[in-house]
Amino acid sequence: MNYQLLNTLSLEKSWSRNTLDVYKSNLKSILNKMDVKTFDAGQNTIIEEIDKLEKSSYVKSNYVNLFIIYRNTKELPNHELRKFRTKMGNEISVIKKENDTKTNLKMVDFPDYLTETERLAETFPTKYIIRRLLIHLGCRNRDVNLLFVFDKKIDIEIREKTIKEELNICHVRSKDIVITRRFYKTSTTYGILKNTIKDNKLMKIIKENYKNGDRLIPAKQSQNISRIVMNATRIGETELFKTQVKYYKNLGNLKKIKELSESRGTSLPTIIDNYDVDN
């Protein structure tokens, strides 16, 4: 089992870069802890080794998935490993429900959060912009790794730069903003996403603090984007999205939840399973 095999499988399964990176990281971890011969061992031996090495159901599930992928390529039996993966999935569901209960107790009030966000506009413009983009689009951390464009048209040079540097585009026009995202978690499923935002105050803050060709997140800090977004939002993008879903669900505004589903690049069933804290 090696990285070359994972790269081959990624092409066959159309995995995103993030998914492939996770598998590579898990593989490296396994090979640091286990003998490579374990991949060809009996299923019960594999399960015993995984149980011995890890306590987390999440990690166990990731590990066993790698063994299943490998053994499929060798046409080796996997029925016991699949049972074990199902068991881990059930344990994860229980943990998730417990975490959702805790989240529900600590979840912020969305209208209060909007008021809090408005207070950031003049003093902390970058935090304000990040929050407003996440609120408008329901998007994730990586989505706000943006390049600002103020020209009427986005020229080829700019597009090539953003593709090379894996940047999304915030095109500030006279009456609105167009966010073009090539680089986000579910891009292999949903392709390039384009969303128009009409928000005069957001446009004003962007124009006052950024110029054509500027990045929202400086290049040197882009590797820490999760930490930057956590700092900006105070509660993190996942909790913010859950807060919005809960708020609009309580209002009975399913149309807005569907809009957030589309702009986030997430299916409605996924939102119900993972972000609907009352479900």
Tell me the per-residue pLDDT of 201-215, one tens digit each, with 9 for 90 and over.
999 999 999 999 999
When mean pLDDT is compared across 36-45, 89-98, 132-141, 246-255, the lowest value belongs to 89-98
3-state helix, strand, coil in the chain (%, to 5): 65, 5, 25
The residue assigned the tokens 């996403």 is: 193
Provide φ and ψ at 124, rounded to 5°: -125, 70
Does 26 have pLDDT greater than 50? Answer: yes
Q: State the alpha helices, DSSP H only, in 107-178.
A: 110-118, 125-137, 156-164
What token pair was written down for 6?
A: 């994972």
pLDDT in tens, 217-261: 998 888 889 999 999 999 999 999 999 999 999 999 989 999 999
CB atoms within 10 A of CB 253: 12
Contacting residues for 95 by C-beta, under 8 A, at least 6 apart: 57
Longest dimension (CA), the chain: 65
Task: Give 123's pLDDT tier (boundaries 50, 70, 90).
Answer: very high
Concatenating the DSSP letter of every residue in 214-269 gives -BSS-GGGGGGHHHHHHHHHSS-HHHHHHHHHHHHHHHT-HHHHHHHHHHHT--HH
DSSP strands (E only) in 42-91: none
pTM of the model: 0.65
